[in-house]
Amino acid sequence: MKNRIKELRAKKDLTQDQLAEKLEVSRQTIISLERERYNPSIILAFKLAQIFNCKIEDIFIYEEEK
């Protein structure tokens, strides 16, 4: 699943480390998400939407890929 995390994070001028702290996850998790190595839990998705002040659908692009 594609996502705009890197882009949105840059817009907020946050480092991966800072974003990780806000989300209460490890930096590795941010890296892996941005690199689209795996999909987030729905809880992480909600937290991201909260931080970026938008909808989950604005961050993640679901394309039926499974």
Partner DNA sequence: ACTTTAAGTAAAGCTAACTTTACATTAAGT
Partner DNA sequence: ACTTAATGTAAAGTTAGCTTTACTTAAAGT
Residues whose CB falls within 8 Å of the CB of residue 8, separated by 6 or more in sequence, listed in order: 52, 54, 59
Our finding on whether 42 is near its own copies (CB under 8 A) is: yes
Kindly state the helix (H) or strand (E) to which residue 18 belongs, with its residue range: helix 16-23
Crossing angle between the packed helical segments 16-23 and 42-52, to the nearest 10 degrees: 120
Chosen residue from 4, 21, 22, 25 binding DNA by CB under 7 A = 25
Q: What's the CA gap between 66 and 51, in Å, rounded? A: 26
**CB 5 to its own copies: min, Å:** 12
Which of its own copies, DNA, none does residue 53 bind (CB under 5 to 8 Å by kind)? Answer: none
**CB 50 to DNA: min, Å:** 14
Our finding on whether 24 is near DNA (CB under 7 A) is: yes
**Binders of DNA: how many residues, by CB under 7 A?**
20
